[in-house]
Amino acid sequence: KINSFGSIFAILLIDFSLVIIVILIINKNIRLNLEIVASTDTLTNIGNRNRYNEAIEIYLNLFKKYNKKIAYILLDIDFFKSINDNFGHDKGDDVLIKSTKVILTNIKKDDLFCRVGGEEFVIVSENINTKDELEKFANKIRTSVENFDFELERKVTISLGATFIEKDDTKHSLFKRADEALYISKNSGRNRVTIL
């Protein structure tokens, strides 16, 4: 009787342990999935503003620690509001999705690419070392979008403002400088790259 009680107890203990392990594994997977969902833009499946906010702090620290060249590009789709107004929001969403896919084919896997606003995106890259390289890279992205067939009655273009992380930059100063460059691109006729 003692042996059979001990065997039953051991089996119950093993079963209970297995249940706990399964619950922990499921819990971890749920947490990981929630983290992915919380940092992914649901329309374009790239990083969202949460992902951007986390990552940009890492890039700023990387620059401060190693003085590494890090390029920063802010871009948005030209006249996006009129695309929504003239062709509908579904077509606007389609333009966002297709633009994202075109841009993804032109950047490296380890580049950060996030949608930070309606039609506003940020690219951060450690793979660019000079202003000339940055201009060439940004123009490659620009022309790829311009040459893509969005199946609209008009061309879709983007404007870009680019810079490098500089000494004493904060998340806000970096964004502001790139935004100023983007503003210049837009005021100079759009479908352009400006580097500050």
Which residues are catalytically annotated? 119
Q: Residue 73: left if φ>0, alpha if ψ -120 to 50, beta else—which one?
A: beta
Dihedral sign, Cα of residue 50, residue 56, residue 59, residue 60: negative
Measured from the Cβ of residue 184, the count of other Cβ atoms closer than 10 Å reads: 16
Candidates 108, 113, 138; CA nearest to 124 is: 113
Q: What is the spatial distance between Cα 114 and Cα 135, in angstroms, rounded to a whole number? A: 20
Residue with tokens 């695309």: 83
Is residue 84 within 8 A of residue 92, CB to CB? The reply is: yes
